[in-house]
A and B are shown apart, each in its own frame.
Chain A
Amino acid sequence: MLPIISSNTKLSQIIIDDPTILSVLSRFGILLGVGDMTIEHICQQKKMNVVFFTTILNTFRDPDFFPEKILYSFEAHLIVDYLKKTNQTYLQFQLPNIERHLHLLISKSDAQNSNLLIIMKFFSEVKAQLMKRIDDDKNRWFPEILALENSEGNKVESTVMAFDESNDSIEDKINDLISMFVVHLTGDYDINLGQAVLLALDSLKKDIAQNNRIRKRILMPLYQALASRQ
Chain B
Amino acid sequence: MKPSVAIICSDSITSLGINALLRDHFNADTTIITPAQQQMLASYAMSADFDFIMIDEAVLIQNLSYFLPYRNKLILLTNSALEHETDFHHLLRTASLDSIISSVSKIFKSASKATPKDNHLSTREIEVLKLVAEGKLNKEIAKELNISINTVLTHRKNITAKLGIKSVSGLSFYALMNGFVKP
Contact = CB atoms under 8 A, between A and B. Distances in A.
Interface stretch (A71-79, A80-88, A90-98, A169-177): A169-177
A191 to B, nearest CB: 10
The listed residue with most A CB atoms (<10 A of its CB), out of B85, B87, B109, B177, is: B177
A187 B110 contact: yes
Interface stretch (B43-51, B124-132, B136-144, B167-175): B167-175
B114 interface: yes
A114 B164 CA distance: 21
B156 interface: no
Interface in B138-183: 163-167, 169-170, 173-174, 176-177
Contacts of A110: 110
B115 interface: yes
Interface string A112-133: 1111001101100110000000
Contacts of A177: 170
Contacts of A186: 72, 110, 113-115
Contacts of B85: 111
Nearest to A183: B164
Interface residues of chain A: helix, strand, loop or mixed (majority): helix
Interface residues of A, number: 27
A112 B89 CA distance: 8
A173 B169 contact: yes
B176 A173 contact: no
Contacts of B72: 186
Given A122-B170, A183-B119, A188 B164 contact: no
A122 to B, nearest CB: 4
A182 interface: yes
19 contacts: A110-B110, A115-B87, A122-B170, A169-B167, A172-B170, A175-B166, A176-B164, A176-B173, A179-B164, A180-B170, A180-B177, A183-B163, A184-B163, A184-B174, A186-B113, A186-B114, A187-B113, A188-B106, A188-B109
